[in-house]
Structure 1
Amino acid sequence: MAQHDMQIANNTGIAVRGDINAALAALVTNNSGDTAPSPTYPFMWWADSNTGHLKQRNAANTAWIDHGDLSSALLRRNDISGDVELSTQIMNIAGVPVGGLQFVSLELTGSSQPQSANFIRLCADLTGAGEYNEGKLTGQNVVDAGAYDPAVGDASGVTATAIISVSGSPLNGRTVHLIETEKRFVRPGDPGEVLDDAIRNVYGDGAWKSDAGYPPTGAFKISAGSKAVLNNQAASTVPYWQLDASLIVPTAGENRPRSRGVAVYMRVF
């Protein structure tokens, strides 16, 4: 352990040499000691043998910056960027627990997928050679139920599942929904609860006789054209009732909230 004030005083030759050697000893040991060196200088190093930490004086020379344990290697930005595995694990895994999801906008130039050794992508048909889920998913099952059948009451849309096959993963053997393929939304609720699509009830009313006293309301309207009907046993052509949900709500070929597509990944290891 050595410390020095870094000031070489005028003296005899042997004394000056001793002073210089003491200053050099302080430099090569990073001013090691149980107490802080004095005086201090901007960016000065101090190996604090009391706490076992390497410290550096800040630019204003007002405080010490603690760089951590003296017995551990320092991790610098260049070290991280030069080690692809270390870099991706630090940048893509930190804060994402096993079973956690990560969303990536792959359509943006410069975006990247998370480390494939630690994640699966929740998308069907990516298990081929060189693809993201190669060797990590088995038993893929994709079923397209088509349009909803009110007579049967079955679910509509696509259901896609697969089994995680990653040795050593806490999730190995678990079945997951491939929500990218299903176009299924994630929302707060009971973990694992899977709900099929539904909409709020669409309603309206009217009377068989449509005139100024009985206008249709809600999702009902009077047709622009007319149809032939029996009126008191005699054929006649009259306007008819139509149900049109788009009169009161936005409509599309599927039920959905406002959305934006992203790639979805799950950490499995």
Structure 2
Amino acid sequence: MAQHDYQIANDSGIGVRSDINAMAQAIATLNSGESSPSVTYPNMWWVDTDAGRLKQRNPANTAWIDRGDMANVFLQGEDDGQGSLVSWAAIPRGSTVEIDESLPHPPVPPNSGECVFVKLTAGEDGPGDFNDGLLSNEVVSGSGATVVITADIALPGSPYYGQTIHLWNSEGRYAKPGASDGTVANDQMQNITGAVGDILNTRAFGSGAFVMASGGTSNYGTTGGGDYNRATFDASRVARTGTFTDVKNEQRTFYKRIK
């Protein structure tokens, strides 16, 4: 354990050498000690041996930032089920993280301090809610499978302040690999085409998604009419169908880091 003011005073040769050695010890031990160094510098490291925590001076040199528990691997902090500040800070700003909130004691990303996440869920921006003070101007359009919900990032210290984001959890939106980041696509399906012929012929038939049924007697046509068939289309005869287009999935709750 050693600390130093990082100023080498004028002295005799052996005195200067001793001062340099003391400074080297402080560097090697990350200024470790039971109390903080008396002289501090921006971004300076300090191992708080009394609390067993690694701390770093902020860029303004006005306060210490707690970087984690020295007794745990990778400074992951106590096993409180929430994850430490260090682990959340390892996620790049602008990235999303998924949490399985159906499991007991799911970790909760921080929503204040130096590392801030927003929950991509609508209706979470009221007093005491997770996104309180972080999101504003929530806009909802459409409904059901076509609902679109956006909000603006309202945290002044965020590099994305004022940017509009989609609230995936409430929209049911997926992230898709691609070369055009930020491009948004809404619900759609690949076009399906088909044809039916010989409807006036009682031997007309349909296949796949087409169903042929007798429609009655027609009075139209050059021959004076005759029996005709009615064609209907039902994709559920040949494919799994529902009220909206989807892929096999298991739901998660998404958060986005904004600071």
TM-score of Structure 1 vs Structure 2, range by shorter chain: 0.5 to 0.7
1:128 to 126, 133, 157: 126
Distance 2:217 2:102 in 1: 55
1:92 to 88, 94, 102: 88
Report the CA distance between 1:217 and its aligned residue. Answer: 3.3
Report the CA distance between 1:204 and its aligned residue. Answer: 2.7
> Hey, what does 1:178 align to over in structure 2?
167
Instruction: Give the alignment's Cα RMSD to 1 decimal.
Output: 3.5
Distance 1:227 1:211 in 2: 11
Aligned residue type for 1:266: K
Paired positions, count: 194
Distance 1:185 1:197 in 2: 11
- State the SS of the aligned residue for 2:77: helix
> Hey, what does 1:35 align to over in structure 2?
none
> Hey, what does 2:215 align to over in structure 1?
227
1:159 and 2:148 are equivalent in the alignment: yes
Which of these two proteins has the greater Rg computed from alpha carbons?
1
> Hey, what does 2:251 align to over in structure 1?
261
Distance 1:82 1:107 in 2: 19
Overall identity of the aligned pairs, in %: 25
From the superposition, tell whether residues 253 and 79 of structure 1 become closer, same or farther in structure 2 (CA, over 3 Å): closer
Report the TM-score when normalising by structure 1: 0.61
Contact 2:204 2:212 in 1 (8 A): no
Distance 1:90 1:120 in 2: 17
- State the SS of the aligned residue for 1:252: coil
Report the CA distance between 1:134 and its aligned residue. Answer: 0.8
Distance 2:79 2:236 in 1: 56
- State the SS of the aligned residue for 1:91: helix
Distance 2:183 2:196 in 1: 39
> Hey, what does 2:57 align to over in structure 1?
none
1:108 and 2:106 are equivalent in the alignment: no
Report the CA distance between 1:183 and its aligned residue. Answer: 1.2
Contact 2:118 2:257 in 1 (8 A): yes
> Hey, what does 2:35 align to over in structure 1?
none
Distance 1:82 1:205 in 2: 63
Once the two structures are superposed, the pairs formed by residues 1-269 of structure 1 within 5 Å of their partners are 52=28, 72=47, 75-77=70-72, 80-81=77-78, 88-94=84-90, 96-117=91-112, 118-144=116-142, 157-189=146-178, 190-209=180-199, 215-223=205-213, 226-232=214-220, 239-269=229-259
Distance 1:184 1:83 in 2: 31
From the superposition, tell whether residues 211 and 100 of structure 1 become closer, same or farther in structure 2 (CA, over 3 Å): same
Report the CA distance between 1:212 and its aligned residue. Answer: 9.8
Unaligned runs of 5+ in 2: 1-23, 31-44, 53-69
Distance 2:174 2:71 in 1: 39
Distance 1:239 1:215 in 2: 9
Distance 1:104 1:173 in 2: 26
Unaligned runs of 5+ in 1: 1-47, 55-69, 147-155
Report the CA distance between 1:184 and its aligned residue. Answer: 1.3
- State the SS of the aligned residue for 1:240: strand
Report the TM-score when normalising by structure 2: 0.63
Contact 1:203 1:218 in 2 (8 A): no
Report the CA distance between 1:216 and its aligned residue. Answer: 2.1
Distance 1:79 1:97 in 2: 17
Distance 1:116 1:129 in 2: 13
- State the SS of the aligned residue for 1:80: coil
Aligned residue type for 1:242: T
